[in-house]
Structure 1
Amino acid sequence: MSKVMIVTGASRGIGAATAKLAASKGFAVCVNYKSHTQEAQAVVEEIQSNGGIAIAVKADVTIVSEVNRLFTETVKAFGGLHALVNNAGILETQMRLEDMSSERIERIYNANVFSPILCIQAAIKIMSTRYQGSGGSIVNVSSVASRLGSPREYVDYAASKGAIDTLTIGLAKELAIDGIRVNAVRPGCIDTDIHASSGEPNRIERVKHLVPMQRGGTAAEVASAIVWLASDESSYTSASFIEVAGGN
């Protein structure tokens, strides 16, 4: 039987690359998405055409009932759960903190902090040996913004990823006894659609000279780190962070 992985926000970018790579490594993958139905189905079809196993489940992971349905449908389809990748997240237009509306900040924290917590709660109740599960792995997608702060661009996003870092460390220690490892990946300037959300789709070209490697990264490079942390190859790794940021 294949090990089972849920990847949130997996219709595009890092999430899609992660789902495809995980499937190629033998995981049965649930491709979660909120609104990009055609893109999510394309990811599933590509996985299946390459001999992999995948389903797509539409669910807004900021809503408790939809999170519960996501996990229920995954277990019903595949018979269990062994890995959760908390990839879903948002970025909004670049501006200074004092110009940000409270509604914007609430959206950022709902998507980037609240939703991973909801998904982790659901995953624990399936994977934890405390609940007769067989253990598993949780990988959170953070950002080097948690260290760098993103001044004059999106301090709110950076702060939300700082919360993810703290969550990763605390849960790794809390869940180790339950057979669950918790780690995170911190991407840097990665070539995905998320930069368009900040109002600057060509941001990588502007800032790549600030990266020691002098280029942006790819979604596939981030996916490699995520899938390694989710796999048994990292069986003695928990409370750890992999930086995929070109040296930043």
Structure 2
Amino acid sequence: MTKVVLVTGGSRGIGRATALLLAEKGYLVAISYLHNQQAAQNVVAEINAKGGVGLALQADIADESQVVAMFRQLHAQLGPVTALVNNAGILLQQATIEDLTAERINLVLGTNVTGYFLCCREAVKTMAKRHGGRGGAIVNVSSAAARLGSPGEYVDYAASKGAIDTLTTGLALEVAAQGIRVNAVRPGYIYTEMHASGGEPGRVDRVKSQLPMQRGGQPEEVAQAIAWLLSDAASYVTGSFIDLAGGK
């Protein structure tokens, strides 16, 4: 069976590491990106240079019409999606609750929650046995923030990831009989460019001494967990979470 995966937010960080690893494992890999076309094309070029098949798709996952168009293009160019990695997300400047605006909260929830729901919806329409699909697997990239709350920094982001945990649990139960497995990973302090979006590029180095393992994590370590959850080795795993947070 041809394995076709969509990795949203695949041009950098955890998404990039996941896309490259899955290509090595024989998946046809589509990555979505929002603005940085060059970074996305670089990932595709790296996949293709190693004998894989990569495809970059521009889409704002918070926009329903763009998500539908993205899946349509993916199907036309690579075939029906059999795996989805919901990874695209945004993190805004560190702030306390007193500084949060409705505009900011809705922006975060639009991408981090609505976007995940929309991508899951389109994937299920393709994968579900009742629609003639062959089943499949979905991995949602949540965050340790869903458990820890990110007080004084990113309560809005943490709340969005709490919603993703609930989505993972509920959707796993909803589509299990359709041959679709739904799981999540919850990374903690990982060395990615996202911390710069919050105004503190060196955040991982600042907090790593507070972690039981005394170090931050690498995107490739998260990618390994995602790849396992998508694989046949995890064929009896659904509605589950893997925490990658150095023991915190």
Shorter-chain TM-score range: over 0.9
Residue 58 of structure 1: aligned partner: 58
Deviation at 1:233, TM superposition (A): 1.5
Residue 198 of structure 2: aligned partner: 198
User: What one-letter code is carried by the residue in structure 1 that aligns with 2:32?
Assistant: N
Residue 45 of structure 1: aligned partner: 45
Measure the CA separation in 1 of the matches of 2:95 and 2:70: 34
Residue 71 of structure 1: aligned partner: 71
Measure the CA separation in 2 of the matches of 1:142 and 1:153: 17
Deviation at 1:134, TM superposition (A): 0.3
Measure the CA separation in 2 of the matches of 1:211 and 1:62: 33
Measure the CA separation in 1 of the matches of 2:201 and 2:54: 30
The number of aligned residues is 248
User: What one-letter code is carried by the residue in structure 2 that aligns with 1:68?
Assistant: V
Measure the CA separation in 2 of the matches of 1:78 and 1:176: 25
Cα RMSD for the two superposed structures: 0.7
User: What one-letter code is carried by the residue in structure 2 that aligns with 1:127?
Assistant: M
TM-score by length of 2: 0.99
Gaps of 5+ in 1: none
Alignment of 1:7-156 (within 5 A): 7-156=7-156
Residue 230 of structure 2: aligned partner: 230
What SS is found at the alignment partner of 1:90?
Answer: coil
**Are 1:160 and 2:160 matched, yes or no?**
yes
Measure the CA separation in 1 of the matches of 2:72 and 2:152: 41
What SS is found at the alignment partner of 1:237?
Answer: coil
Residue 176 of structure 1: aligned partner: 176
Measure the CA separation in 2 of the matches of 1:242 and 1:92: 25
Measure the CA separation in 1 of the matches of 2:233 and 2:74: 24
Measure the CA separation in 1 of the matches of 2:215 and 2:56: 32
Measure the CA separation in 2 of the matches of 1:24 and 1:185: 20
Q: Deviations over 1:36-79 (max 9, x none)?
A: 10000000000011111111111111111110111111111122
User: What one-letter code is carried by the residue in structure 1 that aligns with 2:198?
Assistant: S
User: What one-letter code is carried by the residue in structure 2 that aligns with 1:35?
Assistant: H
Gaps of 5+ in 2: none
Q: Deviations over 1:139-183 (max 9, x none)?
A: 000000000011011111101100000000000000001110000
Deviation at 1:197, TM superposition (A): 0.7
What SS is found at the alignment partner of 1:134?
Answer: coil
Measure the CA separation in 2 of the matches of 1:188 and 1:167: 19
TM-score by length of 1: 0.99
Measure the CA separation in 2 of the matches of 1:15 and 1:151: 26
Deviation at 1:2, TM superposition (A): 2.9
Measure the CA separation in 2 of the matches of 1:109 and 1:165: 14
User: What one-letter code is carried by the residue in structure 1 that aligns with 2:126?
Assistant: I
User: What one-letter code is carried by the residue in structure 1 that aligns with 2:15?
Assistant: G
User: What one-letter code is carried by the residue in structure 2 that aligns with 1:91?
Assistant: L
Measure the CA separation in 1 of the matches of 2:207 and 2:45: 35
User: What one-letter code is carried by the residue in structure 1 that aligns with 2:181?
Assistant: R
Measure the CA separation in 2 of the matches of 1:15 and 1:109: 19
Q: Which runs of 4+ in 1 moved over 3 A?
A: none
Aligned sequence identity (%): 56
Residue 244 of structure 2: aligned partner: 244
User: What one-letter code is carried by the residue in structure 1 that aligns with 2:190?
Assistant: I
